[in-house]
């Protein structure tokens, strides 16, 4: 589902409860919680055909991924997330490669990989939290701006900044209105489009955003950390959508669904054998198990891939 905040498209503006209409945010595009009554992730049932609307796509050089750990994160959780980004970047046959089926008006495609390193200035720790422990959407660009101004991260128009909030940080609307979202701002760094995503860590408090719990009815997850394991799924969703539709003006369906929305909570056949804990997983990358959604491919016929 694709609620819009601000103007620019011939699509009705929708406001998601808990997300404020901050002028600096161009459009907020959310991942919805699992809809138990419909057995899906909140799609609107539009014709499943994704179309190009002429806007910006993150093509050319591989996208740079930056991670901002906001609040008091256990080191184990950080390790799972950093390992996931590394695995998604380096593993053969990575799910991320589906995004190179998307292109801009000059037929330049999204790169089939991205750049990330946990040890070369692409991770910033914001703790004690610079904007407090109770957040609305207007605070999220300030978190990104603080990480850049503190010289922790570079200002990068070819980057996606992931703001990951710890379980002890309250985020307005999280779990009820959204699981994660991505957007773009020109006020973080003057004259630059800065693309970023918010992915809160639910800890054990939000089963509606966790595929192991919502879809498979489990409390055990692939890496033994419910929060981190849910976040890997949301990161897959938001990274793919940001690369292919960074400002909400490029690739989406007639109903406003992006390439992550169309496959939300769609995992395919679980691995067998899976993790020794008995948790359901559908991906094994570099020896690590994950449960991460498929992504809509722009190849004909269009479908959730791989």
- Per-residue confidence (pLDDT) for residue 85, from 0 to 100: 97
Residue 263 sits at φ, ψ, to 5 deg, of -125, 20
* CA 27 to chain centroid: 15
CA–CA distance, 208 with 36 (Å, rounded to integer): 8
Alpha helices, DSSP H only, in 66-223?
75-90, 140-149, 211-214
- The answer on pLDDT for 10 being more than 80 is no
Q: How many CB atoms lie within 10 A of CB 264?
A: 27
Length of the chain equals 306
Contact status, residue 1 vs residue 43, Cβ threshold 8 Å: yes
* CA 72 to chain centroid: 21
SS3 content of the chain, % helix, strand, coil (to 5): 20, 20, 60
Residue in this structure with the two tokens 């970047």, named with its chain if needed? 89
The predicted model gives 204-231 an average pLDDT of 94
CA–CA distance, 224 with 181 (Å, rounded to integer): 24
The predicted model gives 118-147 an average pLDDT of 95
- The answer on pLDDT for 29 being more than 80 is yes
- Per-residue confidence (pLDDT) for residue 205, from 0 to 100: 84
Task: State the pTM of this model.
Answer: 0.90
CA–CA distance, 121 with 27 (Å, rounded to integer): 28
Strand pairing class (63-70; 123-126): parallel
pLDDT in tens, 280-300: 999 999 999 999 999 999 998
Instruction: List the end-to-end C-alpha distance of the chain, in Å, as a whole number.
Output: 21
Residue 141 sits at φ, ψ, to 5 deg, of -60, -30
- Per-residue confidence (pLDDT) for residue 15, from 0 to 100: 38
Q: Would you list the domain boundaries of the chain? A: 29-299
pLDDT in tens, 153-205: 999 999 999 999 999 999 999 999 999 999 999 999 999 999 999 999 998 88
CA–CA distance, 55 with 105 (Å, rounded to integer): 8
CA–CA distance, 144 with 153 (Å, rounded to integer): 9
- Per-residue confidence (pLDDT) for residue 35, from 0 to 100: 77
Structure tokens at 159: 């980057």
* CA 283 to chain centroid: 17
pLDDT in tens, 53-102: 999 999 999 999 999 999 999 889 999 999 999 999 998 878 999 999 99
Contact status, residue 215 vs residue 270, Cβ threshold 8 Å: no
């Amino acid at each position: 589902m694709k609620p819009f905040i601000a103007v620019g498209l011939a699509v009705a503006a929708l406001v998601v409860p808990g997300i404020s209409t901050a002028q600096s945010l161009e459009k907020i595009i959310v991942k919805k919680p699992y809809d138990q009554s419909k057995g899906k992730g909140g799609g609107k049932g539009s014709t499943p055909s994704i179309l190009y609307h002429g806007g910006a796509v993150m093509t050319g050089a591989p996208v740079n991924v930056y991670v901002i750990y906001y609040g008091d994160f256990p080191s184990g959780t950080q390790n799972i997330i950093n390992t996931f980004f590394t695995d998604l970047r380096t593993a053969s046959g990575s799910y991320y490669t589906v995004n190179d089926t998307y292109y801009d008006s000059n037929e330049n495609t999204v790169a089939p990989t991205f750049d990330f390193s946990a040890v070369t200035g692409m991770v910033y720790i914001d703790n004690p939290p610079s904007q407090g422990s109770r957040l609305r959407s207007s605070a999220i660009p300030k978190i990104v701006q603080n990480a850049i101004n503190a010289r922790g991260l570079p200002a990068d128009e070819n980057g996606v900044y992931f703001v990951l909030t710890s379980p002890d940080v309250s985020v307005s609307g999280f779990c009820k209105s959204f699981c994660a979202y991505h957007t773009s701002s020109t006020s973080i760094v003057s004259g630059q489009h800065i693309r970023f995503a918010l992915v809160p860590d639910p800890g054990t408090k939000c089963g509606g955003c966790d595929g192991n719990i919502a879809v498979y009815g489990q409390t055990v997850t692939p890496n033994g950390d419910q929060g981190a394991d849910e976040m890997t799924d949301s990161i897959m969703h938001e990274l793919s959508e940001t690369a292919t539709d960074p400002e909400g003006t490029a690739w989406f369906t007639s109903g406003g669904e992006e390439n992550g929305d169309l496959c939300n909570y769609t995992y395919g056949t679980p691995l067998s054998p899976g993790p020794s804990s008995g948790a359901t997983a559908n991906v094994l990358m570099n020896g690590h198990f994950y449960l991460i959604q498929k992504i809509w491919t722009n190849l004909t016929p269009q479908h959730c891939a791989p």
